[in-house]
């Protein structure tokens, strides 16, 4: 095994592994690879580590999985020593954490920042990937790991006239690094997903006027964010082995919380309302675990949706505005549920107005206004909280050529196809972290990231030990997995929503439920069994002469 380069200045032409992306996935992948003696190079298009938390610097950005759980578990010392300040840490603190991890594990020397991977071509004879970057550099690697992120390709909407707007236009997913000051400005906010819902109250507190343009009303639960006390932190720290085990193996979504043992219709209306009220008061994502059938049974789901609609009507004083804010187009939870701080109450402020762009879509953006139903809503600045080309967007932007020169985009033209979300047939030695077909975005993502990284690391060690040159998803195993992913999704209410899980937010994108909804515990067991059975379903090619991975 060759030793890793000391710095970009010592970059060389061949590595065991090229990793694309330096978010939480790429960082942990690098750490594992180094520890196992593989040479690795990470390319990151941004100027620093942290991925999501490097790019999404919009006002109000914070995690929606509690920080004591939305954090790495691979280092006992790290999880014991890092102090999260709040129940849901703000973006700046999560970015600080990512930087701390990079320093603590000395990751930067193998990461090349400000460098996009543009192209990756598999050479079938050499059994190597040839990876070309935005800097014009081409390197060879036996393996490529795409740690490119599920929510990393910010989507600017195709709204007529957007380019004519004369004020500043910001996208939440690509926010400037300098502070943006909205004081005294009239701000237009387009989009009411998690990003819009988190940013609206903060922007409203600063701007002269905030106009929110809402296409789809969304369900949101109060975060009840607060400072974390030392006792609260210790409650996690002292029980981390069990908390992390539960999140990995038992919880469907990688979050330690009590699991519901009954359906919503098993309780009387009074009891049910009491349960919802308790969860509303407690705040956070666990609202959806009040019952075990909210994602499965529409009548059960309606009871939770009605409860939230009722709360919106209680909070928002103007009945017409309250009605507009009440979601009616999808079952609760089938679009990623939002977690907010004072979102609905924001509409009681005199400097905030809500414009319905479902009934009357935006006609045009002019030099200084958003035109809806013939009326110009004048604004000085625009915030696009319009989301991402999720799960496949960042992968699709790389020109990836597998066996026979076929591109991944050609193969995925009708929707992504993978075996276990980890590999795609015809693309040997190319791994995806939290790829489509894995639980990824339906889970606490750090749990899913760590599971994938560990699985890939074990796989590479196995290949090195047995002198294997390539491994790839078998076509039959892949077809079966894709069918299974679809079948499990079809048994739930999720496909009923026009969500980014379905690709529905991107015009022309195939409508397929992309993540695996079978649960992280079940999924982990499947992955482990596949590995234990000699990587069942994968095609394995021996090196002509047994050799170390990339020597
Ligand atoms: P990312 O963090 O997206 O990192 C991928 C990196 O790859 C990026 O830095 C990108 O620049 C780089 N990259 C992509 N393509 C290329 C290329 N071709 N060349 C070079 N570099 C490239 N999940 C949760 O579980 N809990 C939360 O509370 C939560 N909150 C979120 C809040 C926001 C605002 C958003 C947008 C997402 C949130 N998520 C949350 C999901 C979040 O994306 C994941 O939790 C996690 O941070 C993903 O890490 P990652 O390393 O897989 O991807
Ligand atoms: P999103 O959920 O996709 O929401 C995008 C919003 O923009 C939607 O309201 C959408 O309306 C609207 N929109 C998109 N294109 C539009 C157009 N052309 N015209 C008008 N409206 C348009 O994106 P997001 O809010 O950035 O969140 C994406 C995901 O990132 C979340 O689901 C979550 O997983 C993660 N995230 C998490 C947090 C957190 O709380 N920690 C915060 C932010 C993001 P439609 O619904 O009608 O399409």
Query: 3-class DSSP state for residue 213?
Result: strand
Q: For residues 316 and 421, what is the distance between their CA atoms, to the nearest angstrom?
A: 42
Is the CB of residue 67 below 6 angstroms from any atom belonging to ligand 1? Answer: no
The enclosing H or E element of 362 equals strand 362-365
Q: What pLDDT sits at residue 545?
A: 55
Q: Which atom of ligand 1 is nearest to the CA of 21?
A: 7
Q: How far does the centroid of ligand 2 lie from the alpha carbon of residue 410, in Å?
A: 27
Q: State mean pLDDT over 58-84.
A: 98
Is the CB of residue 284 below 6 angstroms from any atom belonging to ligand 1? Answer: no
Per-residue pLDDT at 6 exceeds 70? no
String of b and e for 25-43 (b: at least 16 CB within 10 Å)? bbbbbbbbbbebebbbbbb
Radius of gyration of the chain, Cα coordinates, nearest whole angstrom:
24
Per-residue pLDDT at 59 exceeds 90? yes
Is the CB of residue 25 below 6 angstroms from any atom belonging to ligand 1? Answer: yes
CA 512 to each of CA 146, 198, 391, 497: distance values in angstroms, whole numbers, following the listed order? 21, 27, 11, 11
Which residue, judged by its Cα, is nearest atom 48 of ligand 1?
Answer: 149
Is the CB of residue 144 below 6 angstroms from any atom belonging to ligand 1? Answer: no
CA 249 to each of CA 28, 118, 246, 436: distance values in angstroms, whole numbers, following the listed order? 20, 37, 5, 20
Q: Which atom of ligand 1 is nearest to the CA of 194?
A: 34
Report DSSP letters for 443-457, one per residue.
S-HHHHHHHHHHHHH
**453 alpha carbon, closest ligand:** 1
Burial class (CB in 10 A: 0-12, 13-18, 19+), 5: middle
Q: What pLDDT sits at residue 543?
A: 84
Q: For residues 107 and 275, what is the distance between their CA atoms, to the nearest angstrom?
A: 46
Q: For residues 468 and 36, what is the distance between their CA atoms, to the nearest angstrom?
A: 17
Which residue, judged by its Cα, is nearest atom 14 of ligand 2?
Answer: 386
**Angle separating helix axes 445-465 and 240-249, nearest 10 degrees:** 80
Q: How far does the centroid of ligand 1 lie from the alpha carbon of residue 338, in Å?
A: 17
Per the CB < 8 A criterion, the answer to whether 290 and 262 are in contact is no
Q: How far does the centroid of ligand 1 lie from the alpha carbon of residue 66, in Å?
A: 17
Q: What pLDDT sits at residue 314?
A: 98
The enclosing H or E element of 363 equals strand 362-365
Tokens of 278: 């308790």
Least confident segment among 4-8, 26-30, 119-123, 403-407: 4-8
Q: How far does the centroid of ligand 1 lie from the alpha carbon of residue 52, in Å?
A: 4
Report DSSP letters for 497-534, one per residue.
S--GGGTTTSTT------S--S-HHHHHHHHHHHHHTT
Q: What pLDDT sits at residue 11?
A: 53
pLDDT tens digits for 94-128? Answer: 999 999 999 999 999 999 999 999 999 999 999 99
Q: What is the mean pLDDT of the chain?
A: 95
Query: What secondary structure letter does DSSP report for 163?
Result: G
Is the CB of residue 45 below 6 angstroms from any atom belonging to ligand 1? Answer: yes
Show the ligand 2 pocket: residues with CB < 6 angstroms.
63-64, 151, 157, 159, 172, 190-196, 198, 215-216, 336, 339, 357, 385-388, 441, 500, 505
Provide, rounded to the nearest whole percent, the portion of the chain with pLDDT above 90.
96
Which residue, judged by its Cα, is nearest atom 29 of ligand 1?
Answer: 63
Which residue, judged by its Cα, is nearest atom 22 of ligand 1?
Answer: 21
Q: How far does the centroid of ligand 1 lie from the alpha carbon of residue 441, in Å?
A: 10
Q: State mean pLDDT over 357-381.
A: 98
Per-residue pLDDT at 509 exceeds 50? yes
Query: What secondary structure letter does DSSP report for 407?
Result: B
Is the CB of residue 43 below 6 angstroms from any atom belonging to ligand 1? Answer: yes
Is the CB of residue 398 below 6 angstroms from any atom belonging to ligand 1? Answer: yes
Q: Which atom of ligand 1 is nearest to the CA of 23?
A: 51
Q: What pLDDT sits at residue 102?
A: 98
3-state secondary structure 282-339: HCCHHHHHCCCCCCCCHHHHHHHHHHHHHHHHHHCCCHHHHHHHCCCCCCCCCCCCEE
3-state secondary structure 385-397: CCCECCCCHHHHC
Domains of the chain with bracketed CATH: 14-153+390-468 (3.50.50.60)
pLDDT tens digits for 134-190? Answer: 999 999 999 999 999 999 999 999 999 999 999 999 999 999 999 999 999 999 999
Q: How far does the centroid of ligand 2 lie from the alpha carbon of residue 35, in Å?
A: 38
Which residue, judged by its Cα, is nearest atom 15 of ligand 2?
Answer: 386
Q: What pLDDT sits at residue 7?
A: 39
Per the CB < 8 A criterion, the answer to whether 127 and 427 are in contact is no
Q: State mean pLDDT over 445-454.
A: 98
Is the CB of residue 48 below 6 angstroms from any atom belonging to ligand 1? Answer: no
- E-state strands within 89-246: 111-112, 117-123, 128-133, 138-146, 169-171, 186-190, 209-214, 220-222
Q: Which atom of ligand 1 is nearest to the CA of 395?
A: 15
Q: For residues 424 and 416, what is the distance between their CA atoms, to the nearest angstrom?
A: 9
**198 alpha carbon, closest ligand:** 2
Q: How far does the centroid of ligand 1 lie from the alpha carbon of residue 434, in Å?
A: 10
Provide, rounded to the nearest whole percent, the portion of the chain with pLDDT above 70.
97
Q: What pLDDT sits at residue 419?
A: 98
Per-residue pLDDT at 10 exceeds 50? no
């Amino acid at each position: 095994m060759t030793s890793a380069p000391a710095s970009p200045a010592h970059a060389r032409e061949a590595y065991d592994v090229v990793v694309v992306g330096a978010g939480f996935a790429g960082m942990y992948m690098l750490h594992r690879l180094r520890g196992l003696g593989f040479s690795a190079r990470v390319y990151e298009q941004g100027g620093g580590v942290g991925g999501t938390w490097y790019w999404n610097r919009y006002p109000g950005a914070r995690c929606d999985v509690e920080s004591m759980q939305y954090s790495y578990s691979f280092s006992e010392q790290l999880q014991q020593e890092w102090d999260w300040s709040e129940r849901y840490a703000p973006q700046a603190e999560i970015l600080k954490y990512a930087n701390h991890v990079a320093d603590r594990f000395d990751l930067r020397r193998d990461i090349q920042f400000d460098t996009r991977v543009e192209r990756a071509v598999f050479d079938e004879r050499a059994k190597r990937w040839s990876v070309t970057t935005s800097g014009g550099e081409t390197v060879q690697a036996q393996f490529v790991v795409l740690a490119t992120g599920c929510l990393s390709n910010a989507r600017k909407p195709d709204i007529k006239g957007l380019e004519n707007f004369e004020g500043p236009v910001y996208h939440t997913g690509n926010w400037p690094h300098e502070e943006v000051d909205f004081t005294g400005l009239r701000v237009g906010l387009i989009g009411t997903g998690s990003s819009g819902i988190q940013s609206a109250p903060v922007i409203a507190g600063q701007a002269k006027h905030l106009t929110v343009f809402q296409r789809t009303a969304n369900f949101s639960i109060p975060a009840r964010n607060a400072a974390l006390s030392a006792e609260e932190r210790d409650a996690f720290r002292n029980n981390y082995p069990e908390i992390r085990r539960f999140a990995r193996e038992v919880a469907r979504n990688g979050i330690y919380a009590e699991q519901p043992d009954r359906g919503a219709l098993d309780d009387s209306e009074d009891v049910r309302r009491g349960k919802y009220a308790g969860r509303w008061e407690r705040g956070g994502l666990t609202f959806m675990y009040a019952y075990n059938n909210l994602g499965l049974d529409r009548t059960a789901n309606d009871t939770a949706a009605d409860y939230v609609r009722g709360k919106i009507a209680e909070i928002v004083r103007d009945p017409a505005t309250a009605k507009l804010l009440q979601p009616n187009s999808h079952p609760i939870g089938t679009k990623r549920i939002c977690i907010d701080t004072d979102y609905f109450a924001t509409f009681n402020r005199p400097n905030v107005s809500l414009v319905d762009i479902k009934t009357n879509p935006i006609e045009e953006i002019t030099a200084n206004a958003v035109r809806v139903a013939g009326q110009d809503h004048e604004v000085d600045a625009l915030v696009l909280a319009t989301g991402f080309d999720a799960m496949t967007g960042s992968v699709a932007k790389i020109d990836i050529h597998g066996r026979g020169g076929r591109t991944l985009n050609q193969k995925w033209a009708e929707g992504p196809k993978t075996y276990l979300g980890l590999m795609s047939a015809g693309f040997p030695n190319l791994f995806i972290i939290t790829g489509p077909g894995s639980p990824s975005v339906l889970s606490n993502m750090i749990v899913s990231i760590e599971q994938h990284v560990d699985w890939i690391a074990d796989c590479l060690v196995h290949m090195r030990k047995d002198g294997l040159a390539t491994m790839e998803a078998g076509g039959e195993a892949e077809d079966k997995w894709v069918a299974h992913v679809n079948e499990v999704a079809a048994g739930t209410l999720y496909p009923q929503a026009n969500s980014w899980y379905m690709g529905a937010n991107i015009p022309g994108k195939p409508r397929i439920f992309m993540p695996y909804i079978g649960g992280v515990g079940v999924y982990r067991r499947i992955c482990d069994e596949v590995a234990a059975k000699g990587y069942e379903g994968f095609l394995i090619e021996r090196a002509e002469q047994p050799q170390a991975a990339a020597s």
